[in-house]
């Protein structure tokens, strides 16, 4: 497991070790032995699967592409996690993301374990036919370890409902007579996918921020008003006033989160900046997010990058470098791009006092410590971007029952589940000295540890 996640898991175990109300039947030497077992179990994956996919390209040449499926832990249910297509994919990254999925599912009480997959390609460099072949080969090479009750992949960076449709079709072909609708989630609706799945992660990212700054603060205003907790002061200082929001990444997660912020009637927001792999667009008076979404839909996901393109859209914005979105004078920064965007070498330039991790691990451990000491609120990935896996669970249920929910019902269930998690985490966060990330990890590790203990896995 990568050092950041592993270190926080160990911190959680250290905190729980001294909590006499947690696993009270374990005392003295037996307790020490059990906690060593927990550290070992949660710091390593159960299984690492690697293959080199043999792909024939359109020009007739044959290439071998590295691919992974990491199965971290299945204590709470079948392995669950996305498959990403990206040139940066490597075993350490995929293992870390699989561990994060284990903890995320435990935190939100989703009955899945943690898994993750990856293929080392840049999808833009391959034709649709080549990508179709890659998807088929991935299922063929890993067919023994995936399935509706074993390991259920989903989309991730570089993949979407098209790739999940292709993969489910191949799984159906090579496992005739077996249930297949639940083998992959994030599929198109016509292929058994759930309404609302594509938007779920982005909606959940914004919802966690909105719930904290609006619903929770208002319902708990009495005891929060007298608190000296620095996180409380940061939250109260941003309540009931106009908030400027910058969004890094304008893909599936960032664009939906931006639109939710743009439309929100609970908070007085303005989205002042968005970015993609090429540019940052900045206007301190706010951007028209619907117009930008329509443009990216017509232009392979890219934002307008020239003055001429902006003029045609009647959008006023300053065109900046893609990384400048991180350093703007905004109240809130939603990170919906790649890992390790805020690091030790650039954290001092970050001005936003509230950061929301829409991507996985966009803030390194070193940067996290600096920001936390400032009193910056960081809504971590394990909490903020769980909307996708929650609705994937709903999709899995619908596939098993072959009865499908309305989009409105899906969103209602999503927000109810995230609200339950937030209500279990936020009082402790605003009431003690732990960061929100540490509180989330403590809660998840506690759930996993309790189940492992009751299953007799610590001896």
DSSP 405-446: --HHHHHHHHHHHHHHHHHHHHHHHHHSSS-HHHHHHHHHHH
Lowest-confidence region among 19-33, 55-69, 71-85, 257-271: 19-33
Beginning with the edge strand found earlier in the chain, give each strand of the sheet holding 47-56 in spatial order.
47-56, 62-73, 114-119, 79-85, 151-155
What distance in Å separates the CA atoms of residue 437 and residue 383, rounded to the nearest whole number? 8
Q: How many residues does the chain have?
A: 459
Handedness of CA 153, 154, 155, 159 (dihedral sign): positive
Domains in the chain, number = 2
Q: Which residue has the tokens 């249920």?
A: 397
Looking at the fold, whether 263 and 130 belong to one and the same domain comes out as no
Residue 204 falls within a domain, yes or no? yes
Question: Is the pLDDT score of 169 beyond 60?
Answer: yes
Q: Note the pLDDT of residue 4.
A: 59
Residue 105 falls within a domain, yes or no? yes
Helices and strands in the chain: count of H runs, count of E runs: 17, 12
Looking at the fold, whether 226 and 136 belong to one and the same domain comes out as no
> Exposed, middle or buried: residue 46 (CB in 10 Å: 0-12, 13-18, 19+)?
middle
What's the mean pLDDT in 10-19?
89
**For the whole model, what pTM was predicted?**
0.91
Looking at the fold, whether 133 and 248 belong to one and the same domain comes out as no
Residue 112: DSSP 8-state = -
Lowest-confidence region among 20-24, 203-207, 366-370, 423-427: 20-24
Looking at the fold, whether 65 and 158 belong to one and the same domain comes out as yes
**Which residues are the active-site residues?**
116
What distance in Å separates the CA atoms of residue 355 and residue 359, rounded to the nearest whole number? 11
Residue 412 falls within a domain, yes or no? no
Q: Note the pLDDT of residue 58.
A: 97
CA distances from 283 to 50, 202, 245, 289, 374 (A): 46, 22, 11, 12, 27
Q: Note the pLDDT of residue 393.
A: 97
Residue 214: DSSP 8-state = I
Q: What is the domain-level CATH number for residue 106? A: 3.40.50.10860
Q: Note the pLDDT of residue 2.
A: 46
Question: Is the pLDDT score of 281 beyond 90?
Answer: yes
CA distances from 33 to 25, 447, 450 (A): 13, 18, 15
Q: Please say which residue of 191, 223, 251 terminates a domain.
A: 191
Looking at the fold, whether 307 and 353 belong to one and the same domain comes out as yes
Q: Quick check: 46 and 69 in contact, CB under 8 A?
A: no
**Token couple for 253:** 């997660």
120: domain range? 49-191
Residue 458 falls within a domain, yes or no? no
Question: Is the pLDDT score of 241 beyond 50?
Answer: yes
What distance in Å separates the CA atoms of residue 11 and residue 171, rounded to the nearest whole number? 40
Looking at the fold, whether 210 and 167 belong to one and the same domain comes out as no
Q: What is the domain-level CATH number for residue 202? A: 3.40.50.720
Looking at the fold, whether 170 and 243 belong to one and the same domain comes out as no
Residue 220 falls within a domain, yes or no? yes
Looking at the fold, whether 142 and 105 belong to one and the same domain comes out as yes
**Crossing angle (nearest 10°) for helices 91-107 and 436-454:** 80
Looking at the fold, whether 173 and 240 belong to one and the same domain comes out as no
Looking at the fold, whether 264 and 147 belong to one and the same domain comes out as no
Q: Which residue has the tokens 């990212």?
A: 205
Residue 211 falls within a domain, yes or no? yes
What pLDDT digit, counting tens, does each position of 337-391 carry? 988 999 999 999 999 999 999 998 899 989 999 999 998 999 999 999 999 999 9
**Token couple for 309:** 């393109």
Looking at the fold, whether 145 and 243 belong to one and the same domain comes out as no
User: Could you tell me which residues are beta bridge partners of residue 119?
Assistant: 67, 85
Q: Note the pLDDT of residue 279.
A: 97
What's the mean pLDDT in 121-138?
97
Q: Please say which residue of 191, 221, 256 terminates a domain.
A: 191
Residue 410 falls within a domain, yes or no? no
Residue 375 falls within a domain, yes or no? yes
Q: What residues contact residue 117 under an 8 Å CB cut-off, 6+ apart?
A: 67, 68, 69, 70, 81, 82, 83, 84, 94, 138, 142, 153, 156
**Token couple for 173:** 């072909």
Can you list the positions of beta strands (E) in 300-403?
A: 318-321, 332-335, 354-357, 377-379
What distance in Å separates the CA atoms of residue 418 and residue 212, rounded to the nearest whole number? 11
| Beta strands 62-73; 47-56: pairing state | antiparallel
- Residue with the bigger pLDDT between 440 and 239: it is 440
Looking at the fold, whether 102 and 133 belong to one and the same domain comes out as yes
Q: Quick check: 82 and 159 in contact, CB under 8 A?
A: yes
Q: Please say which residue of 163, 191, 219 terminates a domain.
A: 191
What distance in Å separates the CA atoms of residue 121 and residue 175, rounded to the nearest whole number? 27
Backbone dihedral angles phi then psi of residue 47, each to the nearest 5 degrees: -145, 145
What is the pLDDT confidence band of residue 408, given thresholds at 50, 70 and 90? very high
CA distances from 392 to 19, 43, 162, 182 (A): 34, 25, 15, 10
Backbone dihedral angles phi then psi of residue 279, each to the nearest 5 degrees: -140, 165
Q: Note the pLDDT of residue 124.
A: 92
What is the pLDDT confidence band of residue 1, given thresholds at 50, 70 and 90? very low
- Residue with the bigger pLDDT between 307 and 238: it is 307
Query: For the chain, what is the mean pLDDT?
Result: 94
Question: Is the pLDDT score of 5 beyond 70?
Answer: no
What distance in Å separates the CA atoms of residue 293 and residue 288, rounded to the nearest whole number? 9
Residue 342: DSSP 8-state = B
Residue 71 three-state SS: strand
């Amino acid at each position: 497991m990568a050092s950041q996640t592993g270190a926080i898991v160990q911190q959680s175990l250290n905190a729980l070790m001294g909590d006499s109300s947690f696993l009270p039947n374990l005392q003295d030497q037996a307790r020490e032995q059990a906690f060593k077992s927990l550290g070992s179990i949660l710091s390593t994956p159960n299984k690492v699967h690697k293959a080199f996919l043999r792909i024939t390209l359109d020009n007739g040449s044959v290439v071998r592409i590295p691919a992974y499926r990491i199965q971290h832990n299945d204590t709470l249910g079948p392995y669950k996690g996305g498959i990403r297509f990206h040139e940066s994919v490597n075993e350490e990254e995929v293992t870390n993301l699989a561990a994060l999925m284990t903890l995320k599912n435990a935190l939100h009480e989703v009955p899945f374990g943690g898994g993750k997959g990856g293929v080392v390609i840049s999808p833009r460099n391959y034709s649709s036919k080549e990508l179709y072949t890659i998807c088929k080969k991935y299922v063929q090479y890993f067919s023994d370890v995936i399935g509706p009750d074993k390991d259920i992949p989903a989309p991730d960076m570089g993949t979407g409902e098209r790739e999940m449709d292709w993969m489910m079709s191949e799984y159906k072909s090579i496992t005739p007579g077996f249930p297949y609708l639940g083998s992959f989630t994030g599929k198109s609706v016509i292929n058994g996918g759930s309404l609302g799945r594509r938007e779920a992660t982005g909606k959940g990212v914004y919802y966690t921020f909105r719930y904290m700054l609006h619903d929770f603060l208002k319902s708990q205003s009495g005891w929060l008003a007298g608190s000296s907790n620095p996180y409380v002061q940061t939250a109260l200082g941003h309540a009931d006033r106009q908030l400027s929001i910058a969004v890094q990444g304008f893909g599936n997660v960032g664009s939906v989160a931006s639109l939710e912020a743009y439309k929100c009637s609970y908070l007085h927001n303005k989205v002042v900046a968005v970015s993609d792999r090429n540019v940052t667009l900045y206007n301190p008076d706010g951007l028209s997010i619907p117009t930008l979404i329509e443009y990216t839909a017509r232009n392979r996901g890219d934002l307008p990058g020239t003055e001429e393109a902006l003029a045609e859209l009647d959008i006023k914005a300053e065109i900046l470098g893609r990384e400048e979105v991180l350093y703007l004078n905004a109240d809130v920064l939603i990170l919906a791009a790649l890992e390790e965007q805020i690091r030790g070498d650039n954290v001092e330039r970050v001005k936003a006092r509230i950061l929301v991790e829409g991507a996985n691990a966009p803030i390194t451990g070193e940067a996290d410590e600096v920001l936390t000491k400032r009193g910056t609120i960081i809504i971590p990935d394990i909490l903020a971007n769980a909307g996708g896996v929650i609705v994937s669970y709903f999709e899995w249920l619908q596939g098993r029952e072959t009865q499908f929910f309305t989009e409105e019902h899906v969103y209602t269930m999503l927000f109810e589940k995230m609200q339950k998690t937030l209500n279990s985490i936020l009082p402790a966060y605003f009431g003690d000295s732990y960061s929100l990330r540490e509180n989330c990890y403590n809660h998840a590790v506690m759930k996993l540890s309790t189940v492992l203990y009751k299953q007799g896995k610590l001896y």
